[in-house]
Amino acid sequence: MSRFTLGSTGHLAKDADCFESMAQVWNSACCKSHGFFPVTAELLKAHMTESRHWDPELVMIARDDETGRWLGFAHAVIVNEPYYPVCGSIEAVCVVPEARCKGIATALIGAGCVALRKKGMTRIDGGGSWPNCPLYATLIDGSERAGVATAEMAKVFAKNGFVPDRKSLRLRIAGNALFRLAALDLPEELKTTSFSRASETTWLDYCFRRWDLTEHHLCDASGQVLSRCITSPMRDASNLWGDLWYSIFAVFCAVAHRRKGYALSCLSYAARKVLEDGGKGLELHVLAENAPAIGLYTKAGFRKVGIASSMSLVLS
């Protein structure tokens, strides 16, 4: 493979092979080496084309000049959500391992920025900055967005003028550690309850409207909520993986009740419910500067499986 040509999927989007090629690139580029969950062409097609953010002119692709094979893609979108300033976003960039170090990712991001600029965008987020998560969060099914998941990728964004925003850690728990967490003694005087969260009542629900969220609460005798934890089954990924995994969207403890072990108890209770429902593991993202939460997850038995950074570019 010697040369590549950049284009967009604008004229290809109705072609089923387009999503097949995209899935092949994603699975080859992101799953084995970076631990992302695999996708199928059907999954991609459904999630992308159903989204109101879908614009095939913003999916940039690089193809091998000789074979026509897809070597990589960058997925740009315009984020227009009620709770977030309108901006462009490079949602995902991937290049198959055998075509790396040839400037393809840099060129794809550059092309995505040009396409977004043509559509009037003056700020572009790169690789994810929660809560700006219209597409890929649902594709990879994993709690908050990963951001730019590798140092190499961060360099590629930097070459296009992006600067780092915020780092986050990707944590997981499974196997014996999950059983140990679920087996912790809960304070006898407290009550626990779990219920499905009604959809579309807050911007959070709005974002996660397809995510089948369950709230787990730890309450005092009067019913006051001391701590809560929200989980969601990672169905698409689980179907492909064969094991049912859950993501954690939020853990919270009332300010007046912190450092009393309530969040840990609530996590333990959520882990019990997840195991009861056949779950084999839990995954989450947490901002790297959130020391209390990282302390909590470490104590609970979560282990780091990746690090990510969001990046942004402001155009004059």
Q: Which is nearer to ligand COA, 122 or 290 (CB)?
A: 290
Q: Which parts of this chain interact with ligand COA (CB under 6 A)?
A: 227, 251-253, 258-264, 286, 290-293, 295-296, 299
CB of 109 to ligand COA, least distance (A): 28
CB of 140 to ligand COA, least distance (A): 17
CB of 31 to ligand COA, least distance (A): 24
CB of 298 to ligand COA, least distance (A): 7
d(CA 303, CA 122): 38
253, 236, 254: which is closest to 244 by C-alpha?
A: 236
Q: Which is nearer to ligand COA, 4 or 262 (CB)?
A: 262
Q: Which residue is nearest to ligand COA (CB)?
A: 295
* Alpha carbons within 13 A on the beta-carbon side of 258: 10
CB of 181 to ligand COA, least distance (A): 12
Q: Which is nearer to ligand COA, 7 or 295 (CB)?
A: 295
**DSSP code per residue over 213-246:** -EEEEEE-TT--EEEEEEEEE-HHHHHHHSS-EE
Six-digit token string for 275: 């195991």
Six-digit token string for 65: 């000049």
d(CA 53, CA 123): 17
CB of 17 to ligand COA, least distance (A): 39
Q: Which is nearer to ligand COA, 208 or 262 (CB)?
A: 262
CB of 168 to ligand COA, least distance (A): 9
Question: Which strands, in side-by-side order, build the sheet including 214-219?
Answer: 4-8, 59-64, 70-79, 87-95, 123-126, 303-314, 163-174, 281-287, 245-253, 225-233, 214-219, 191-196
Using the 8-state DSSP alphabet, how is residue 30 labeled?
A: I
**Strand-strand pairing, 245-253 and 281-287:** parallel
Q: Which is nearer to ligand COA, 8 or 129 (CB)?
A: 129
Using the 8-state DSSP alphabet, how is residue 262 labeled?
A: H
125, 58, 61, 127: which is closest to 99 by C-alpha?
A: 61
Element (H, E) at 195: strand 191-196
Q: Which is nearer to ligand COA, 206 or 252 (CB)?
A: 252
Q: Which is nearer to ligand COA, 3 or 259 (CB)?
A: 259
Task: Name the residue with tokens 């997850």.
Answer: 297
CB of 264 to ligand COA, least distance (A): 4
Q: Which is nearer to ligand COA, 29 or 253 (CB)?
A: 253
